[in-house]
Amino acid sequence: MRIAIVAPSCTLKREAADAVQAMVRERGDCELIIHPQCFLTDGHFAGPDETRLAALREVMADPSIDAVWFARGGYGSNRIAEAALADMPGAARSKTYMGYSDAGFLLAGFHKAGMEVAWGPMPQDALRAGGDAAVARALDWLVRRDPSALEPELQSPAMAFNLTVLSSLLGTPLEPDFTGVDLLIEEVSEHLYATDRTMFHLTASANVRRAARIRLGRVADILPNDVEFGTDEEAIVEDWCRRSGIAYGGRADIGHDALNKVVPFRRENR
């Protein structure tokens, strides 16, 4: 199993790359190819759009690569996602793609294009407290489809997204079909009023209303309101599910943390 790491959003930290390489050497069940693009910096991004796109397309086209692992989130994969899918080489279709957070733009578009994608921990997570377990979980699933890495209550088909990322890809060419999907969402570093607004936007979508249910992962690092919002994140999500006629399926074991589980975007018709 040869796993390539590229950074379609922000720069991967060297310490994270070193930690993940050390873990892989220890395991001995896979090989890691860390693309040098991961360490570039261009303002907010891990290199200019063209450079991030070229690195992504290079590993997509490489028939010796079995899986593409997105280095980290941040912001920026949406800027190259559509171009990554243009004139796709055949070898791109025989790989698995994994990441979360901002990488959700790629997961959405690649899944829509028929490729195998999964929400799951990323190399940069090695720097979190307890992050080794997250990295091991991701590799356990990539290398041997270890079921213990999976979010435990998944119904097929399933998808997982950061709420803000999901809201931002509605109406874009990256928007997948949510019909019958177990749709897991999580959020980080937002005000509760913004989460309420984003849920308004999300649940107004006719496509999202065709989901089987919405489940709520962890909502972390909630930014303070000048006055208390008045309800909590679960009440917000339940309220908008009720208003829009979407089933609310309870909490989900995903989030911007070391406990984040793997959610393969399984396709019903496979």
Which x/- pattern, by CB under 8 A, does the window 103-142 give for a second copy?
A: ----------------------------------------
Q: Enumerate the H helices of the chain as residue ranges.
A: 14-27, 49-61, 78-84, 104-112, 131-144, 163-169, 192-203, 206-209, 233-244
Which is it for strands 158-162 and 116-119: parallel, antiparallel or unpaired? unpaired
| Alpha carbons 15 and 36: distance in angstroms, whole number | 14
Provide the minimum distance between the beta carbon of 10 and a second copy in the complex, in angstroms, as a whole number. 8
Provide the minimum distance between the beta carbon of 77 and a second copy in the complex, in angstroms, as a whole number. 10
Q: Rule CB under 8 A: is residue 253 a binding residue for a second copy?
A: no
Residue 95 DSSP code: S
Contact, 203 vs 244, CB < 8 A? yes
> Please, which of residues 163-182 interact with a second copy by CB under 8 A?
164, 167-173
Q: What are phi and psi for residue 263, nearest 5 degrees?
A: -130, 95
Nearest-10 crossing angle of helices 192-203, 233-244? 20
> Please, which of residues 20-59 interact with a second copy by CB under 8 A?
41-45
| Alpha carbons 219 and 165: distance in angstroms, whole number | 14
69 - beta bridge partners?
Answer: 5, 98
Provide the minimum distance between the beta carbon of 103 and a second copy in the complex, in angstroms, as a whole number. 13
**Amino acid type, 101:** S
> Please, which of residues 58-77 interact with a second copy by CB under 8 A?
74-76
Q: Rule CB under 8 A: is residue 229 a binding residue for a second copy?
A: yes
Q: Which residues, at least 6 apart from 239, have a Cβ–Cβ distance to it below 8 Å?
A: 199, 231
Q: Rule CB under 8 A: is residue 242 a binding residue for a second copy?
A: no
| Alpha carbons 123 and 39: distance in angstroms, whole number | 13
> Please, which of residues 147-166 interact with a second copy by CB under 8 A?
164
Query: Which bin fits 180, alpha (ψ -120 to 50), beta or left (φ > 0)?
Result: left
Nearer to a second copy, 74 or 249 (CB): 74
3-state secondary structure of 149: helix
Nearer to a second copy, 129 or 206 (CB): 206
Q: Rule CB under 8 A: is residue 196 a binding residue for a second copy?
A: yes
Q: Rule CB under 8 A: is residue 84 a binding residue for a second copy?
A: no
Quick one: which of 101, 124, 198, 260 contacts a second copy (CB under 8 A)? 198
Q: Which stretch binds a second copy (CB under 8 A): 60-68, 87-95, 124-132, 196-204?
A: 196-204
Nearer to a second copy, 47 or 120 (CB): 47
Residues within the interface to a second copy (CB under 8 A): 41-45, 74-76, 78-79, 164, 167-173, 192-194, 196-198, 200-201, 204-205, 225, 227-231
